[in-house]
Structure 1
Amino acid sequence: MRALSCYGVLSVVVALSLCKSAAADDTAGGFLDGFKLGGYSSAYLNVHPGGKSEASLEEVSFLLRWEGEGRWRFFAELEQEKPVSWKSGQGLTNDGARIDLERFYLDYNISEQYNLRAGRFLTPAGRWNLIHAAPLVWTTTRPLATSRLFPQSTNGIMLYGAKSFDNRAFEYTFFMEALEDQHLDGDEIQYRDTHGARFAFTGKLNLGLTLMEFTEDIPGTPQFRMMGADFMVKHDDWEFSGEAYQRYYSNNRDGGSGAYLQAVAPLGNRWFAVGRLENFKRPAEGSAERWVVGTAWRLQPNRVFKLEYVGGDEERADAPKGLFTSFAILF
């Protein structure tokens, strides 16, 4: 997305704050009463195996939602990426600062089991992509399989809903791209012609299946077909989760794959041990295998401190290694 100055960020923050104040002062009720403003932020430090270090205020995201008494709902997420960063030997900089419109959509409740969404939304693939906000995940680093194999966001339409069965539910999502991204960030991969579906069973054991077709926006690149599976189970503060994806070109050749398995164990006093194994393969980038071991301290439900070490294959720009520490807050 388009990069904007820090003055632009300040203007957005002030505008959103004024909206919230206006809603609070609106004693007559009505449209403004449905608005709620929140957000999250995180900062991190990475000490690479070679000794070089880097740190940044990774993101400041503002979440604006509106829900009235009728069938319409609205949601938007505006994110300031890396407003301030630091590298050993280079000092402070804001060269990587940019504003992203992460989400911006309208929902319409057709009936109890059917909902329609239009706008920009997170691509419903697996679990991590849908709950990727730093305060909601266990590690500072993100599994490569969830960021380099499919589009993380889609501009288009979605039909979704759920059917309950006792303590379980069947959830479905169908989606289709209507407009491809107009701006890219750094080494971000651009996709087009994206469409697919996701099905999930939720309960004590959560299972998901993702089916997608898309094209990487490179001349001569054929369309990809991708299938993904994911799971998550919790018991007495223990958590096990994982995702696996396999892509094929339209001529059935291998188009890349990736997977991760993650385990979380309680240590007491809101401390948790975290471990993860990953593998990733993409024809244009080669393959990588990583492992992550660390800990997370949930000071409060909305605040988390993380410390982890990432090892594995040779370090790459899209697969950093070394010691990571971060702090994230949801507000």
Structure 2
Amino acid sequence: MRRYPRWLWCIPMVAASLYGESYELGRGFSLGDSLNVGGYFSTEFESSRTRDRFTADDVAVMAYGDLTPALSYLAELEAVGFYQKDFTDGNENSDRKFHIERLYGDLWVNDAFNVRFGKQITPIGYWNREPINVLRDTTSNPLYSKLLFPKFLTGIDVNGYVPGADNLNYHFFAQSTHDMDEEYINIPNTHFYGLALEKEFSWEWNGGGSVGEYIASAGGERTRFVQANLKYENEACVVTAEAIAARTAYRVGGDDDTYAGYLQGLYRFTPQHAAVARYEYYDRRHDDYRDHIGIIGYSYRPIYPVSLKGEYQWHSQNDENRFLFSFAVLF
């Protein structure tokens, strides 16, 4: 995967000057229905017993638009760990290589049948479908969302509302090839299939679940999983729960189960200020690793596309307790 040249950063500015179109924070430059250009970045500071570290974590550029009334697209390139400074030992490093995070097209047929093709977010649960830091309520991600299934798939997602079923949405997704950018996926694979369902019970409640199977490229282990999610939301409060049970067939040691989940609550004092708390559980039987994680944090959004967040994490593995702070902008 080659490095993307520095002039990549100039695309939004050059396009805006050529076309003279408007800019809106959070939506980027609008150059017509067929092309919108924007991006985002986030920074993070971590402080623990063993480390104090600053990271310019995510730097990304995006383009999206409608090519026809039935066909749209999105392209997203991202560099992770763009710059890092460890104040404990004074080391600095950077990785300015841009990776393909998403590159897909959407073909809209009708409410019951649509197709997304290319590299895309795996349509499971809530957390995984919000890949941008600024849109999330905490700086950290639950272990549930990082270790139990591929976060992205390079393949196809057939989706829509089930005919005759009230507000029941489905996703059937499949991958049988290598990822577009195997350096930028948590679990590289060439075999990933699943079905996800989600239902709106009322304007405050929705829930769903998924089943799936994947085979990791590195070790060839086959994992099958069952997942469930539930959310309650009103103007002031959001409560989210997700859980997953996975069984992996290891080449050595037979089959073993992994369980993970989280329960998170957020309370908005005002549209700008919110407090958040989360409990996580992770239990990987294969190597007898367990962790209970408690998180309490605060989120400040002066405007929606800008966020400042802080949190403290308690781990049952005591040496992993830490403070996290982040600043993120969607532009």
Common fold by TM > 0.5: yes
Asked whether the 8 Å contact 2:308–2:325 carries over to 1, the reply is yes
C-alpha change, 1:254 and 1:87, in structure 2 (3 Å) is: same
Distance 2:265 2:327 in 1: 20
Residues 42-68 of structure 1: per-residue CA shift (max 9 Å, x gap) = 111000123x20011111122210203
What does 1:9-48 align with in structure 2 at a 5 Å threshold? Answer: 10-19=6-15, 21-22=17-18, 24=20, 33-48=33-48
What does 1:248-327 align with in structure 2 at a 5 Å threshold? Answer: 248-249=247-248, 253-268=255-270, 270-282=272-284, 283=286, 286-314=289-317, 321-327=321-327
Asked whether the 8 Å contact 1:154–1:177 carries over to 2, the reply is yes
Q: Aligned AA for 1:142? A: N
Cα drift, residue 18 of structure 1: 3.6
Bigger shift: residues 246-255 or 83-92? 246-255
Q: Aligned AA for 1:292? A: I
C-alpha change, 1:165 and 1:264, in structure 2 (3 Å) is: farther
Distance 1:113 1:21 in 2: 41
Cα drift, residue 22 of structure 1: 4.7
What does 1:31-110 align with in structure 2 at a 5 Å threshold? Answer: 33-50=33-50, 52-91=51-90, 93-110=92-109
> Which residue of structure 1 aligns with residue 194 of structure 2?
196
Distance 1:182 1:67 in 2: 23
C-alpha change, 1:253 and 1:279, in structure 2 (3 Å) is: same
Asked whether the 8 Å contact 2:122–2:150 carries over to 1, the reply is yes
Unmatched runs of 5 consecutive residues or more in structure 2: 22-30
Asked whether the 8 Å contact 1:82–1:98 carries over to 2, the reply is no
- Secondary structure class of the residue paired with 1:34: coil
Distance 2:271 2:37 in 1: 31
- Secondary structure class of the residue paired with 2:8: helix
- Secondary structure class of the residue paired with 2:110: coil
Cα drift, residue 313 of structure 1: 2.5
Distance 1:66 1:211 in 2: 31
**What percentage of residue pairs aligned between the two structures are identical?**
22
Cα drift, residue 41 of structure 1: 1.3
Q: Aligned AA for 2:262? A: Y
Asked whether the 8 Å contact 2:117–2:157 carries over to 1, the reply is yes
Q: Aligned AA for 1:329? A: V
Cα drift, residue 89 of structure 1: 4.0
Residues 90-135 of structure 1: per-residue CA shift (max 9 Å, x gap) = 4463434432211001111122321111110011111101013111
Distance 2:6 2:160 in 1: 37
Residues 188-214 of structure 1: per-residue CA shift (max 9 Å, x gap) = 432331010111012421102111111
Residues 198-241 of structure 1: per-residue CA shift (max 9 Å, x gap) = 110124211021111111224452x2110100111112311100
Asked whether the 8 Å contact 1:22–1:32 carries over to 2, the reply is no
C-alpha change, 1:11 and 1:164, in structure 2 (3 Å) is: farther
C-alpha change, 1:56 and 1:9, in structure 2 (3 Å) is: farther
Q: Aligned AA for 1:126? A: G
Bigger shift: residues 107-116 or 118-127? 107-116
Distance 2:77 2:173 in 1: 22
Number of matched pairs: 316
- Secondary structure class of the residue paired with 2:167: strand
C-alpha change, 1:18 and 1:81, in structure 2 (3 Å) is: same
- Secondary structure class of the residue paired with 1:300: coil
C-alpha change, 1:12 and 1:279, in structure 2 (3 Å) is: same
Report the TM-score when normalising by structure 1: 0.86
Distance 2:41 2:126 in 1: 20
> Which residue of structure 1 aligns with residue 170 of structure 2?
172
> Which residue of structure 2 aligns with residue 28 of structure 1?
none
C-alpha change, 1:21 and 1:118, in structure 2 (3 Å) is: farther
Distance 2:9 2:17 in 1: 12
Distance 2:111 2:37 in 1: 26
C-alpha change, 1:161 and 1:17, in structure 2 (3 Å) is: farther
Distance 1:315 1:156 in 2: 40
Q: Aligned AA for 1:11? A: W
What does 1:75-154 align with in structure 2 at a 5 Å threshold? Answer: 75-91=74-90, 93-154=92-153
Q: Aligned AA for 1:174? A: F
Asked whether the 8 Å contact 1:106–1:118 carries over to 2, the reply is yes
Q: Aligned AA for 1:280? A: Y
